[in-house]
Chain A
Amino acid sequence: MNPPPPGTTQPPAPEPALRISDLSFGYPGQPPIFADFALEVPEDSRFGLFGPNGAGKTTLMQLITGLLTPSRGDIRIFGQPVVRGERRVNKLFGFVPQDLSFYEELSPVENLAFFGAWSGLDRATIRRRTDELLAILGLADVRDKKVAQFSGGMKRRVNLAIGVIHRPRLLFLDEPTVGVDVQTRAAIIRYLKELNSEGMTLIYTSHQLGEAESLCDRVALIDQGRIVAQDALDALLAAHLSSGLEGLFLQLTGKAYRDIDV
Chain B
Amino acid sequence: MFKLSATISKDVRVLLRDRIGLIFMFGMPILLVLIVTSIQNSTFELVGKNKVSLLICNRDTGVASREFIRAVDTIGFFQLMPVPAGAAGSSLSGAAAADLIHERIRHKDAFLGLVIPADFSARIAARAKSVTGKVQASFGLDSTVNAPDSQDSLPVSLYYDPVLQESFRRSAEGALYSALQLVESKQILRTLYYALNEKALPDSLERQLLNNRTRIDELPAVSRKDNRDLPNATQHNIPSWTIFAMFFVVLSLGSGIVREKRNGSFIRLKTLPTSYAVAIFSKQLTYLVVTLSQAVVIFALGAWLFPVIGLPPLHFPGDWAALIVVTLLCGWCAVSYAICIGVFAQTEEQANGFGAVSIVILAAVGGLMVPSFAMPGSFHLAMSLSPLHWCLEAYYGLFLEGGSLKDVWANILSLFLIIAALQGLSFWGLKRKNLI
- Chain A contact residues, CB within 8 Å of chain B: 65-67, 69, 84, 87-88, 90-91, 93, 95, 97-103, 105-106, 110, 113-120, 122-123, 146, 162-163
Contact = CB atoms under 8 A, between A and B. Distances in A.
B153 interface: no
Contact of A88 (B2, B270, B273): B273
Contact of A99 (B14, B264, B272, B278): B264
A87 B6 contact: no
B434 A117 contact: no
A117 B268 contact: no
Given A101-B264, A101-B265, A123-B2, A90 B271 contact: yes
Given A90-B273, A115-B272, A118-B274, A67 B6 contact: no
B181 interface: no
Contact of B2 (A106, A115, A117, A146): A117
Nearest to A120: B273
Contact of A95 (B2, B14, B266, B271): B271
A202 to B, nearest CB: 16
8 contacts: A91-B273, A95-B271, A99-B264, A101-B263, A101-B267, A103-B265, A105-B14, A113-B9
Given A118-B274, A120-B273, A106 B268 contact: no
**Residue with the greatest number of chain B CB neighbours at <10 A, chosen from A87, A113, A118:** A118
Interface string B1-41: 01101110110011001100000000000000000000000
Contact of B268 (A91, A105, A113, A115): A115
Contacts of B273: 87-88, 90-91, 118-120
Contacts of A106: 10, 13-14
Contacts of A163: 268
Contact of A67 (B7, B17, B267): B267
B264 A100 contact: yes
B272 A118 contact: yes
A64 to B, nearest CB: 10
Contact of B434 (A84, A87, A98): A84
B264 A102 contact: yes
Contacts of B3: 117-118
B271 A117 contact: no
A38 B270 CA distance: 24
B274 A87 contact: yes
A67 B264 contact: no
A101 B268 contact: yes
Given A84-B434, A87-B274, A105-B17, A118 B269 contact: yes
Contacts of A110: 9-10, 13
Instruction: Name the interface size band of chain B.
Output: 20 to 34
A203 B6 CA distance: 29
Contacts of A98: 264
A155 B274 CA distance: 24
Contacts of A117: 2-3, 5-7
A115 B260 CA distance: 14
A68 to B, nearest CB: 9
A122 B3 CA distance: 9
B275 interface: yes
Interface in B173-201: none
A120 B7 CA distance: 12
A61 to B, nearest CB: 10
B2 to A, nearest CB: 6
Contacts of A88: 273
A75 B405 CA distance: 56
Nearest to A162: B268
Contacts of B263: 99-101
Contact of B274 (A99, A102, A120, A122): A120
Contacts of A162: 268
Nearest to B5: A117
Contacts of A87: 272-275
Query: Which 10 pairs of residues, A with B, have the shortest CB-CB distance?
Result: A99-B264, A101-B264, A117-B6, A90-B273, A101-B268, A114-B10, A87-B273, A118-B274, A118-B272, A105-B17
Given A84-B434, A101-B263, A117-B2, A67 B270 contact: yes
A87 B271 CA distance: 8
Interface in B321-370: none
Contacts of A93: 271
Contacts of B264: 97-102
A97 B265 CA distance: 9
Contacts of A122: 2
A57 to B, nearest CB: 15
Nearest to A86: B273
B275 A114 contact: no
B272 A102 contact: no
B23 to A, nearest CB: 16
A113 B266 CA distance: 16
A177 B271 CA distance: 20
Nearest to B274: A118
A106 B263 CA distance: 14
**Residue with the greatest number of chain A CB neighbours at <10 A, chosen from B17, B18, B264, B272:** B272
Contacts of B6: 113-114, 116-118
Contacts of A103: 10, 14, 265
A65 B269 CA distance: 11
A105 B272 CA distance: 21
A113 B3 CA distance: 10
Nearest to B6: A117
Contacts of B9: 110, 113-114
B17 A66 contact: no
A91 to B, nearest CB: 5
A117 to B, nearest CB: 3
Contacts of A115: 268, 272
Contacts of A118: 3, 6-7, 269, 272-274, 278
A243 to B, nearest CB: 36
Contacts of A146: 17
A50 B267 CA distance: 21
A96 to B, nearest CB: 9
Contacts of A113: 6, 9-10
A72 to B, nearest CB: 18
Nearest to B267: A97
B13 A99 contact: no
B268 to A, nearest CB: 4
A246 B278 CA distance: 45
